[in-house]
Amino acid sequence: MKKVFELHKQSNMYGNAKVVPVMTSSALIPGTLVRIYNMDDDMHGIKGVYKGDFEHTDGLIKSLIVLKDESNREFNFYTLPDTIRIVE
């Protein structure tokens, strides 16, 4: 038993391990151009700039999309995160 333990010690079993952080992959970062994808909403298909996810007043997490009209006025639009798509 002693030889097996010494062999383990010499092999440095944990010294060769590579530690890699686990992150969820997402290309959706603030400033990304997105399109609203919600067939039940009159805003379906409208493009805007994603600004982030926030806790809304009703307690739900919603994504903030900044929309611009023809006069370049900006409007905030909150929607559920699963109703936006990245414009490629």
In a domain, 46, yes or no: yes
In a domain, 58, yes or no: yes
Q: Which domain, by its residues, includes 79?
A: 23-86
In three-state secondary structure terms, 1 is coil
Q: Return averaged pLDDT per consecutive 10 residues of the chain, 88 residues in all.
A: 47 55 63 94 94 90 94 94 91
CATH (domain of 78): 2.30.30.140
In a domain, 79, yes or no: yes
In three-state secondary structure terms, 4 is helix
In a domain, 67, yes or no: yes
In a domain, 81, yes or no: yes
**CA distances for 86 relative to 21, 32, 57, 62, 81, angstroms:** 25, 7, 25, 16, 11
Count structural domains, the chain: 1
pTM for the structure as a whole: 0.66
Amino acid in the structure at residue 63 = S
Please check whether residue 34 is in contact with residue 50, taking contact to mean a CB–CB distance below 8 angstroms: yes
